[in-house]
Structure formats: C-alpha cells, structure tokens
Chains A and B, each alone.
Chain A
Amino acid sequence: MAATRAALSLWRRLLALIGGLLGLLAAGSARAVDLPEDKAEALIHSYTGGGVKANGPAFLVRKSILDKVSLSGTYYMDAVSNASIDVVTTASPYREIRHEFGLNADYVYRDAQITIGAMTSHEPDYVANTGSIDVTQEVFGGMTTVAFGYTHASDKVSKKNSPEFSDTARHWQYRLGLTQILTQRWLMSVNFEALSDDGYLGSPYRFARVFGATVPERNPRTRTGRAVKLRLVGDLGNRDAMHVEYRYFSDTWDIKAHTAEIGYSRYFGDSWLADTYFRYYTQNHAIFYSDNATTETVYVSRNRQLSTFNDMALGLRLSYNLRKVPGRYDLKLNGTYEYTRYKFKDFTDIRTGSLYGYNASVIQMYLSATY
C-alpha cells in the first residue's frame, strides 16, 4: 500500500514537472525569433599534411523569402592529392575530386525555427546522400534555447578498377542542445548527439597487418557512438571575448575521446577582428585496432584514425571590414591559418619502424557578405 502511494506521489510530481515545463513554454511565446540574415560566402580552402593535399573553392548563398522562409544553397569542392603513409606503403598515390551540393530551408514560427536540409556528395568511389531536420525553440523569455535535430545519410561505396566491389552504409544522428544565457555577458551551451552507423564502415583500399603480413582490413558493420559537449562563452568587457569548450565521445568500438578548446577574440579599431584558439584532442584505440596483430581475430584494422593518438592545434583568424553601408550591406575579408601536430602512440611508420607523426596546415581565405 505504502509502495503504491509512493509510486502515485512520484507520478504526480512527474506530471507537475511536465506541467511546469508547459507553463515555461506558454510564458515564453510572446516573442519571435528572426530568420538568419541574408548572406553570401566565397571560400578557398587548403589542407596540407601527412602527404595529403586537399583544396578547392566553396560557395554559399542565403536569401529570405517573405520574411518567413530563408533558403540557402552551398557548393563545396575538394581536390585531393593523396600520398599519405597508407597510400605510399601499400598502393600508389592518387588524385580525385569531391563535389558536394547542399540545400537548406529555414522556417520561423514565433519562437521556433525549423531547418530542413538535403546534401549530396560525389567522388569517383563514394556517393553520400544526406537529409536532416533541426528545430530550435526559445523559451523562458528568450533566455533559453532548446534544439533537437535528426540526420539520416545513405552512402554507396565502390572501389576504383574493381567493378565487383559495391557496398552501402547508412548513418543516423540524433541531436539535443540547450543554450542558456547566464548573465548579460556570459552564456553556455550543452550539446548531446547519438550517432549510429550500419554497413561498410572502412576503406576497400586499406590494409591491416597480421603477423607482419598485409591483409584487407575487416571492420564491424555497426557502430554506435555518443558525444556530449559543454561550451562557455563570455564577453570580457574590452571589445573582447573568450570561450572554453570540452567534448567527450565514446562508442561501441571502445574508442573514448576528449576534446578541449580555449579561444580568445578581440576587435582592433573599427575594421579588424582577430580570433585565436588552442585545441587539444586525444583518443584511445578501437578494440580491434592493431599496428601488427599477433592473433587472428574476426575484425582487424590498421586505420590510424582508430589508433591511440593526440593532436594539438593552434589557430588564428583575421577578419577585415572591407565595406559597410549600414542597413544595406556589409562585406568582410577573412583569413584563417591553423597549425596541427598529430602524434601517434601505436601506429608505426613501417619504412623506419618508429612511431608516426606529422604536421598539418589549414589555410582559408574567404569573403563574407550580409545584405
């Protein structure tokens, strides 16, 4: 009897909590969120590191219609020249181009914004089609923003010069987020994402080593991961701001990863804005990863993305106001440079027998305009 009463009491409290949350939503519905502003971006990007060069242009145009819907289109190209350690030790260097097209529609109703997106990515041996929906809702007088989203992707994997090889992969992502204004100068956000993959999750070109012999890698056909990220942003009061963030990731392949970042931004005069940041990433290896396996197992991989390693990055971005006509348009020129050091703990360079590591550089030059 006492147990029944306790259960009823708990049930009532739960309903009361739901009621309270409904009340919060009702109280916050007097405002309205704005559509994303009309914008255009033109980017030239470049990545150089570990024998890989990837560069190309990317464009984005966003325009609102009737103040209710904002449409955006993106084109992104990657021209990859790959002579990475995997490639030079087991295959021949190659070049290929990836094209990606994306369309997004944002719809605003009162304090909610709904974004629907579609994307298609094509390279000679890999085609990916993605659809997504995201909803954000402001509550508590606009001090809190809750967000949730879903992405589904369907990939077709093939292998050059091997018409007999054909496989598929599917991906699901579920997101939840909350952004909270803390004070007039500080805000924080919490993001959670669950990721699930099914199908061919490796590379048909990559080899593993078992007893010193090379064999095609064998990966599980399912993977489930979850990630949670905390971020704190603060205005420091002298036309400058800082942010700190931390992300924890773990998955069913037994990878656990930590990412931490700290950044500082500051205006200089009327025309310049500088951002600088330091990012640290570390992970342990997947359960079936081995540099050189000494037992026969169902799954085996020597994909260094699944190995134990860390990377450290230092980045700087400068933005310059080229021209600004208040109420009409605003044009900025931006440049980013990031230097990253990758250090592997259980992946050896088989040419030298020592642990592998490399440095990478990312350069971005882009124009951004709001109108």
Chain B
Amino acid sequence: MTTLRALAGTALLGAMLLAGCAMPTVPTLQPWVKPYERERLADPIMKLSRDALPDKHFEHVRDVREGARGATGFQGGGCGCN
C-alpha cells in the first residue's frame, strides 16, 4: 500500500514539476530550451539524415563490406549481402 502511494505520489510530483507547478522548496527540472529557442536545432544542417535514399545507399555499401552493423539510427533490413 505504501509503495503504491509512493508511486502515485512521485508520478503526480513529476507531472507537477514539469508542468511548472513547482513548490518553493523543491528545485525544479524543467525543459531548459523552450520550443521558440529551437530555431537553430530545426535547421536541416542539424539533421541526422536529410535525404533517405543517399543514406540508404551508403548503409548498403558499408553493410556488405564491413563486419559491423547496426545502431545507425536508420531502419535495417535483410539483403543479399554476399
């Protein structure tokens, strides 16, 4: 019962803190970069992948020649890699 109360209490607290209803004595963890401050981050120059096909091509070129695969941030797939 106590554990359930701790769970519910923490969930509520987490939501309150992030929604901006901070209590004066508790330090708050709020998103520190506001949506209107993300203009530079939204520029295409910052993207992991700007165009799908050329990245897919490089992924294939490397997958068939190198022993390592994965964690590229793109979807993988089976292919005739022999």
Q: Which residues of A are interface residues toward B (Cβ below 8 A)?
A: 8, 11-12, 15-24, 26-28, 31, 41, 43, 45, 47, 58-60, 74, 76, 78, 98, 100, 102, 115, 117, 119, 121, 123, 125-130, 132, 134, 140-143, 149, 151, 153-155, 157, 169, 171, 173, 175, 177, 181, 183-185, 187, 189, 191-195, 202-203, 205-206, 225-229, 231, 233, 235, 239-241, 247, 249, 251, 253, 255, 257, 259, 265, 267, 273, 281, 283, 286, 305-306, 311, 317, 334, 336, 338, 342, 362, 364, 366, 368
Taken residue by residue from 30 to 62, chain B's Cβ proximity to chain A (1 for < 8 Å, 0 otherwise) reads as 111111011011011110101111101110111
Q: Given the complex of chains A and B, what is the CA–CA distance between A211 and B62 in angstroms?
A: 31
The number of chain B residues with a CB under 8 A from chain A is 59
* Contacting pair A281 B45 (CB below 8 A): no
A283 / chain B contacts, CB cutoff of 8 Å: 66-68
9 A–B contact pairs at CB < 8 A?
Answer: A16-B10, A22-B11, A23-B16, A130-B78, A227-B70, A235-B43, A257-B67, A362-B58, A366-B54
Q: Given the complex of chains A and B, what is the CA–CA distance between A117 and B48 in angstroms?
A: 20
* Contacting pair A231 B48 (CB below 8 A): yes
User: Per DSSP, are chain A's interface residues mostly helix, strand or loop, or mixed?
Assistant: strand
Q: Which residues of B are interface residues toward A (Cβ below 8 A)?
A: 2-3, 6-19, 30-35, 37-38, 40-41, 43-46, 48, 50-54, 56-58, 60-62, 64-73, 75-80, 82
Q: Given the complex of chains A and B, what is the CA–CA distance between A142 and B19 in angstroms?
A: 13
